[in-house]
Structure 1
Amino acid sequence: MNRVPNSLIDELASDLAPVKPIRLWDGIALVALSAVTTVILVELLDGLWRGIVQGRASGIFFMANGMFAVVGAAAALAVVRMASPSVGNRQDGARWSAGMLALLPISAALMLGMTGLFSAVSSDIYGLHCFLAGTGFGLVTAAALILWLRRGAPVSLGAAGTLTGLAAGAIGTFAYGLACPIDTIEHLAIWHTAPVALLAVVGRYVVPPLVRW
């Protein structure tokens, strides 16, 4: 059979170039590097709390910051996977871990009551600083995940943006939490959880235009 020449196909094929494959472990390494970089920045700018290794941190300190670390890791892994869409690629782990994190402010409200919680939050002179610091440090992870998504082909851009913000807020507030000596449940439940919620909402609307392909 004689082949029919097609100049349009030849023209399109001439522009093709090999693309480096996206590997899951490369994305995980990028997130890990951004998290370590964030902790180093916290140490350089604010100094990590030495009370952690001196036995002065309470149980709620480790529980709350452990939650932030788990949420950040689960959400970041979901985002890394979303850069390479495939059948059955779900984000249940990130959703469940985010639901787990919601127990922190709920528990604080149940323990103190809404009036007591509002009074504790309004009198916390360090709360706003922790909120701003956690949000700011979260931008390091956000930038890393956005760069990763731009390399891939995420399908659900809204979900990718929300999870990017969720991961960034959780890792940022976890990193700064290592420098914050205030370990009361009301402080951690409000001022350290707020960056996670804020960046998740911001990510939903800001990230999609940056990674649309």
Structure 2
Amino acid sequence: MNRLPNALIDELVDDLEPVRPMKLAHGIGLVALAALVTIGLVELLDGLWRGILAGEASAYYFIANGMLGLLGAAAALAVLRMASPRVGNTQEGARWALAMFALLPAVAAITLGLQGRLQQIGADPYGLSCFLAGSGFSLLTFGALTAWLRRGAPVSSSRAGIYTGIAAGAIGSFSYGLACPIDTLGHLATWHTLPVVLGAFAGRAVVPGLVRW
């Protein structure tokens, strides 16, 4: 029995091109490179705080920046996995990291409120500059994660955008935090936290329009 060639199938096959598989390790390397370059830019533009190694930093400094680093890593890993959806692919780690991080501003608000020192946050002369710098240094990680998502096929682009912004804001604020010598609870829990909040809103607004498939 002779089969007639199907022109439509032939046309579709002719347009097929091999696609390089997405490996999680490559995505992790991309984010790590973005973070290292960001820290290098912080050193170049502002200079890292030498007081860290001299033992001048308070416990608040290490707690706040440690939380930022962990949140950035967990949220970035969630984004990398979202680009290649599969059964059982959840973001529990990022959710727990975000819940842990939310304790920082909550505890600061309660502590400073009980001490009657909440007004110190608004009177912080370096607060706005830290917020703007942390947000600005998040752009490289934001771009790297968005580029990775564009290669993949995230099921929920809105959720992917939120986690992209959270990861970028956390890594950007962590990187700039290595240059900021102000280590009070109110400063760290407010002005170094806000880039994460801004990143979440920016990611939700920008990323979905860039990763449609």
TM range (shorter): over 0.9
Distance 1:116 1:40 in 2: 39
Distance 1:194 1:116 in 2: 22
Distance 1:163 1:92 in 2: 12
Unaligned runs of 5+ in 2: none
Q: Which residue of 1 aligns with 2:198?
A: 198
Distance 1:115 1:127 in 2: 20
Q: Which residue of 2 aligns with 1:3?
A: 3
Letter in 2 for 1:102: A
TM-score normalised over the length of structure 1:
0.97
Q: Which residue of 2 aligns with 1:94?
A: 94
Aligned-residue CA RMSD in angstroms?
1.2
Q: Number of aligned residue pairs: give it.
A: 213
Distance 2:73 2:2 in 1: 56
Q: Deviations over 1:150-170 (max 9, x none)?
A: 111111101100000000000
| SS at structure 1 position matched to 2:19 | coil
Q: Which residue of 2 aligns with 1:137?
A: 137
TM-score normalised over the length of structure 2:
0.97
Unaligned runs of 5+ in 1: none
Q: Deviations over 1:161-201 (max 9, x none)?
A: 00000000000000000000000010000000000011111
Distance 1:209 1:49 in 2: 38
Contact map agreement 1:71 1:94 (CA 8 A) in 2: yes
| SS at structure 2 position matched to 1:125 | coil
| SS at structure 2 position matched to 1:20 | coil
Q: Deviations over 1:71-92 (max 9, x none)?
A: 0000000101111111111001
Distance 1:115 1:49 in 2: 29
Q: Which residue of 1 aligns with 2:72?
A: 72
In the TM superposition, residue 117 of structure 1 has moved relative to its aligned partner by 4.9
Distance 1:69 1:9 in 2: 50
Distance 2:191 2:2 in 1: 72
Taking only the aligned residue pairs, the percentage that are identical comes to 65
Q: Which residue of 1 aligns with 2:39?
A: 39
After superposition, the Cα gap between the structure-2 partners of 1:115 and 1:58, relative to the gap in structure 1 and judged at 3 Å, is: closer
Q: Which residue of 2 aligns with 1:50?
A: 50
Distance 1:137 1:112 in 2: 28
